[in-house]
A and B are shown apart, each in its own frame.
Chain A
Amino acid sequence: MQEDLLKIGDMTFENRLFTGTGKFSSKALIPEMLEASGSEMITVALRRVDLGSKTENILDYIPKSVRLLPNTSGARNEKEAVRIARIAREAGCGDLIKIEVITDMKYLLPDNYATLLATEILAKEGFVVFPYVMPDLPLARQLENAGAAAVMPLGAPIGTNRGLETRSMIEILIENCKVPVIVDAGIGRPSQAAAAMEMGADAVLVNTAISSAEDPAAMGKAFSMAVSAGRMAFLAKMREESKTAVASSPLTGFLD
């Protein structure tokens, strides 16, 4: 088989599972999960330091070989997203930024318009922008025109483990986007990640389903294998479904 690398901007990835650092019961599980899954990029968030308590630095738990994708979680509008992105860049971890603008606290659905505005500003400033959005083709085209490096449509609301509820809309993005499509949020099982990759998604980002599993390292590996299997099936080109049976053995009688 030919080498199959994912290119985003001027980066290349062999592993198409991206992961997140949220909700691990212990930070020490993060390097174990990264090792087991082989994930090459992981998200982090930015917050005020708690001056009252000694907190561990999460960067101490992420090997240098793994890329950091800071997110703008906590941003409620494009201005806050831009501010967080600039702070993240100043932290010295590169130009990558996942734009996440959320105003709806019940479903945590992204504000597509504010995300587009933030993308326009940050791409001009040289950021490699990963916008987290509701799957919407006209918006995805605007994001591409604004200089987004990828689009990250959600499968289902964050942390719900419900899988590809937006499946048909994501398929439209996959068929029409020039930049990579990374399915982010809501994926709860490896089989759902495999389904996204079989559809032709370029990558998936999984946080909760891995970090909240009883064994995050094993779950990370399971997701990585599923992503790899789904990708391989996509490249091998599956045949269409059929309403009636199609024999796989000769149709003649045994002794005819």
Chain B
Amino acid sequence: MKITVNGNPETIDVCSITDYLVEKGLTGEGVVVEHNYKIVKRAEWQGVQLREGDNLEILSFVGGG
């Protein structure tokens, strides 16, 4: 199925947010996920199944002043 991640189209197998992040190695401290423009708390990642057409934003801290 096709989803959009950080503005880019991606084709993935059916999975939860946690599965997707584990696959990408993005489960570290400070990672935040917006699923269809709503923040999903870390504790709820496992329970959210990604669906065709979904939009994910994955953010983390970077250097800044």
Residue numbers in B under 8 Å from A208 (CB-CB): 65
Interface size on A, residues (CB 8 A): 38
Closest chain B residue, CB of each to CB of A206: B65
Residue numbers in A under 8 Å from B8 (CB-CB): 51
Give the interface of B toward A (CB within 8 A): 5-8, 24-26, 28-32, 34, 39, 41-42, 57-65
B64 A22 Cβ-Cβ under 8 A: yes
Closest chain A residue, CB of each to CB of B8: A51
A59 B59 Cβ-Cβ under 8 A: no
Closest chain B residue, CB of each to CB of A23: B63
Partner among B28, B59, B63 whose Cβ is within 8 Å of the Cβ of A22: B63
Q: Which 10 pairs from chain A and chain B are nearest by CB?
A: A45-B64, A207-B65, A20-B65, A21-B63, A22-B65, A44-B61, A48-B6, A22-B63, A49-B58, A22-B64
Residue numbers in B under 8 Å from A92 (CB-CB): 29-30, 42
CA distance A24 to B63 in the complex (A): 8
Q: A256 an interface residue at 8 Å Cβ cutoff?
A: no
B59 A48 Cβ-Cβ under 8 A: yes
Partner among B7, B24, B25, B39 whose Cβ is within 8 Å of the Cβ of A48: B7
